[in-house]
Amino acid sequence: MSTGENDTIADETVEAPVENSSTNRKQPFPQGFLDTISTGWAERPDTLPAPRAQAAYAERRRAAVSAAFPGKRLVIPAGSLKQRSNDTDYVFRAHSAFAHLTGWGSDAEPDSVLVFEPTDDGHDVTLYFRERADRTTTEFYADATVGEFWIGPRPSLDGVAADLQVATAHLHEFAPLDGELVLEEDESLTRFVSELRLIKDDFEIAEMRRAVEITARGFDDIIRELPAAVAHARGERVVEGVFHRRAREDGNGEGYDTIAASGPHACYLHWTRNDGTVIPGDLILVDAGVEADSLYTADITRTLPVSGTFTEVQRRVYETVREAADAALAAAKVGARFRDVHAAAMSVIAARTAEWGLLPVTAEEALDADKGGQHRRYMVHGTSHHLGIDVHDCAQARREMYYDGILTPGMVFTIEPGLYFQIDDLTVPAELRGIGVRIEDDILMTEDGPVNLSADIPRTADEVEAWMARLQR
């Protein structure tokens, strides 16, 4: 941080009131500053923005919530800033349900609250947030958390109302009441707004496509910069940083912590330390997704041979994972159950690990729902999860709507089988130890079947080698 709250120093000072002042770093302001800081500013423009594209979609989502809870006061908080350390906070991201129901994405204001007030024929909906401070107030210049002198311009009530097409009011006008249903406190409300996202509307699908397109460019960047990663002592960090640049340049950032797992690290499913070397001859598993400004995120994994070509053993493992992914995609049909996708991938994983002599039982025995599972040692995670405004979207949905749910047009989910042979796993031959492979794509369910939104990112072993050769010329 290049500036601090103790940057204003003078001999003759008068203390200005400062909210949340609990640090000895704060310095009093000189009287001359206090006499002049509130004057000499140009009038703020009063032009109202046109409604954003998502506003009409968010209105329909709110209507669905209203219809589901007649006569109930509903409170959907955006959430607050979260402390990173001392007086620094993490970048704010609104609760996904709040963003979904307001259309406010990366520009949402902390501590905002969306309130559904019951009426005789539905609800009146109001978005409460902290109105920007008048320049005559101390908040404008003295509050480093929300003051515009510190964080830049904040939106006006009228501007947000026009932008999001929802009534707005100042946050201090909001008062909690007994009997209201609050998101994350009331199970029925929390479940409903999560299940509401199981089927994506046209706006959401377009944002998912955009997030995937940017992510694809990020993978291209990674391949171009692999030589730099090889040359660095913490090459995994180079890979992470290259993708971060693309995510911030073209989107809001990453939808989750990037996994840049080279060599044996690829066998750790959520390796995000990314502090290892990238060595020619190894594979590097990169699980990364760009989050758009609307907060919709991609979730893609590709496993790349650092040297540009797979060894025979690496290719065998890689193509088995691709075979499992293709089987899962084939099972993703309208009317099938969500869990059928996983079952299709597991059939391939069980068959191949049994064929390689890795299982103490047959593939059929391993697939037994009660007594099997031996093949899961090498793929402990599930094959699919819903995807959208959260990387693991709709997480509060009921089991019968999620894992046992019926595949329906408008659903977006991942297909991501893998094989992971840990470096110290004595149940596999030495040639397999330390090899980890995952292939993950983002799938849109349509009336005509599944559409792989990330199909343009090379998938087969031959395509991956050609991709790398083309970008590293």
- The SS3 assignment for 352 reads helix
Mode of pairing for the β-strands spanning 253-254 and 290-291: antiparallel
Give the per-residue pLDDT at 258: 98
Stretches in the chain below the pLDDT threshold 50:
1-21
What is this structure's pTM? 0.93
Report DSSP state, residue 264: G
Report DSSP state, residue 2: -
Helix and strand totals (H; E) in the chain = 14, 19
Nearest to 267 by CA among 45, 425, 72, 429: 425
pLDDT tens for each residue of 239-270: 999 999 999 999 999 999 999 999 999 999 99
- 55-129+155-195 in CATH: which number? 3.40.350.10
Sorted by sequence, the CB contacts under 8 Å of residue 344 that are 6+ apart come out as: 324, 327, 328, 330, 331
Give the per-residue pLDDT at 4: 42
What is the chain's length? 473
Residue extents of the structural domains in the chain? 55-129+155-195, 202-471
Give the per-residue pLDDT at 23: 57
For the purposes of burial, counting CB atoms within 10 Å of the CB of 73, is it exposed (0-12), middle (13-18) or buried (19 or more)? middle
Same fold, 55-129+155-195 and 202-471: no
Alpha carbon of residue 425 to chain centroid: 32
Beta-strand ranges (E) seen in 223-341 are 253-254, 259-262, 283-288, 290-291, 300-305
Give the per-residue pLDDT at 45: 83
Give the per-residue pLDDT at 7: 37
The whole-angstrom separation of Cα 188 and Cα 170 is 28
Q: What is the assigned CATH class of domain 202-471? A: alpha beta
Q: How far apart are the first and last CA of the chain?
A: 39
Give the per-residue pLDDT at 25: 64
